[in-house]
Structures are given as C-alpha cells and as structure tokens.
Amino acid sequence: MFKKILVPLDGSDLSTKILPEVRELAKCMPAQLTLLHVCHFPMTAGTESLPPAMEQKAEADEARECAVFMGKIAQEIESEGIGVNFACVQGSPAREIIAYAHDNKYDLIAMATHGKGEVAWILGSTAEKVVTHATIPTLLYRVIKTEPPKSKEHLIGMP
C-alpha cells in the first residue's frame, strides 16, 4: 500500500516520537522511509537582515547540524533492516514538506503533532497546514498525552 513514506522532523524530541510508529509501518508494508528536515530562516523583525556572511554561516551551520542529526537517526533505522534516506532543504516548513512529497511521489506523509501549548487537540501550525493542503494521505501522530474533560460533577464538587 505505502511504498514511500516521508517523515518530516523538526529537530525536536517530540517530532521523533513518530519514529517507532513509522518503523513498524515500514516493516509491514515494506516501505522506504525518507526523513526530511526543513531549515527555516525567518526574516527578522522590521526590514533589518543579517550581513550576508553571517547569514551564510548560519545556513551552513544549520545544514551541518541537520546532516548529523538526520544521519544518526537514519543509521539507527537502517540497523533494523529498513530502507531509509534523509534530506535537508531550506524554506517554509509546510510548503517544503508538501512540495517534497509531491515532487518525489511519496505515498504517505507521517508526522508527529504536539498541538499549540496545553491544548493538544489543536494541531500545530505546520501539521495543520500539511494536513489541509497535501494532496497525498497524511498520518498525524499526537505526542502529547491528554486527559478527558472532567465531569461537571467533579468540577463543582458534587457526587
């Protein structure tokens, strides 16, 4: 069913919590995994920007950190006999994830979502954009544990 799965990672521990799930999925299908990190350099407030030399150094440092981070994860996944590769691209995260998946003909985008703050049922902005604009199936894995709402009786102290 899914032969090529794209797994966007933002460098956080929360984003990597989807990896056990996609490892199992890749073993069952079997599928090739691609880990994708989007390096994003938002414009500074106002019209100021970094000097070109500083901007190039920041981009080079980010690309180097990305390659080390992604390479380590890819090596762990490969040790389980799963086909995996990785890519680091620059741009707006949601836009680049969607474009990469489309341009490279992926069957599935699988990503973790942690919501906005304590409200875990609201999708994070990148996940929300991907799931609403992608033209291929998208699997979201919630990584924050939530509690069901308390009953009215519990809130007002009545049995």
- Percentage of the chain beyond pLDDT 90 is 53
- Token duo for residue 85: 């590769």
Q: For residue 53, what pLDDT is reported?
A: 85
> Do 93 and 128 contact (CB within 8 A), yes or no?
no
Q: What is the pLDDT of residues 105-148, one digit of tens each?
A: 999 999 998 655 444 444 458 888 999 999 999 999 987 666 66
pLDDT band at 27 (very low <50, low <70, confident <90, very high): very high
Which DSSP helix (H) or strand (E) runs through 138?
strand 138-142
> Do 88 and 66 contact (CB within 8 A), yes or no?
yes
Q: Tokens 């390479």 sit at which residue?
A: 71
By DSSP bridging, strand 138-142 and strand 32-39 are unpaired
Q: What is the pLDDT of residues 148-159, one digit of tens each?
A: 666 666 556 655
> Do 82 and 24 contact (CB within 8 A), yes or no?
no
